[in-house]
Amino acid sequence: MSWYEKTELGKITDYGQSYNPDLLCPLQRAEGREQLGLVVDNLPFYGVDIWHNYEASWLNAKGKPEVAIVQMLFPAESPCLIESKSLKLYFNSLNFKKFDSKSDFTALLTRDLSQAAGVEVTIKLISVEDAADVHRLTGICLDELDIEFNNFQLNPDYLCCHETSEYVSEVVYSHLLRSNCPVTNQPDWGSLHISYKGRAIDHEGLLRYIVSFREHNDFHEQCVERVFADIMRLCQPEKLTVQAYYTRRGGLDINPFRSNYEQLPSLQRLVRQ
């Protein structure tokens, strides 16, 4: 059975009211990484996948509904990522389950998601009243470049460095990232933030590369690892960080972070999230 046959993607779904951790669908990261030439036991980056669920709800001991934003940090070294629709269904199965305290709710999430991912997952509840203001990306916005596009097929060959450029430390970003679900082909929209130290990367080529994801089918996490691997292979920076901020689908946003020198990803959300 293929991985997508194990998921609920593209299927009519029964939204039950009983807690069911078996709804979670773990998918092996190894297959996608092997396609990129990444050695699973010797990854060239530190990473974490930052998820937010804006539709989390459960019942307190008296049966009164509670709500919160749930922040989830999945380490990139985990053997599995969680298919997003299955995570949504899992959270929905908690909507009518009673908990004595918020800490009990958090403990259950930690146990179930850690078991599915294969490593310890960090869970934090954020009160709706305490939610942080939206964040603006810093650096050079590539979207202002006046470029004509006529090819939307993924093409890493757009990536290149200026031949005579000196080493630079630079931060660039784009809001033009679009990739697609590998099963349903639904578009996933996001912003991409890249910081690096090395020979100056050609901005026009980098923007063409980002836009070339427009018809590419892959999971959010694998798209970011592909960007990281392609830039390292073709531009060979000394230091590199890539973080994507994907917009919500079904109340969930996913923000993969990969870096060979930083270990503190941005946990803030953008205006489209």
**Distance separating alpha carbons of residues 192 and 107, to the nearest angstrom:** 32
On the CB side of 170, CA atoms within 13 Å amount to 18
Neighbours of 237 (CB within 10 A): 23
Of 112, 188, 202, 218, the catalytic one is: 188
Cβ(28)–Cβ(80) below 8 Å: yes
Per the annotation, the verdict on 22 as an active-site residue is: no
Tokens of 217: 């089918």
**Distance separating alpha carbons of residues 75 and 78, to the nearest angstrom:** 6
Of 25, 181, 223, 235, the catalytic one is: 181
Name the percent of the chain in helix, strand, coil, to the closest 5.
30, 30, 40
Residues in contact with 64: Cβ distance below 8 Å, sequence separation at least 6, in sequence order:
none
Write b or e for each residue in 61-92: b if 16 or more Cβ atoms lie within 10 A of its Cβ, otherwise e: eeeeeeebbbbbbbebbbebbbbbbbbbbbbb
Per the annotation, the verdict on 253 as an active-site residue is: no
Neighbours of 23 (CB within 10 A): 20
Residue with tokens 């798209």: 223
Active site residues: 181, 188
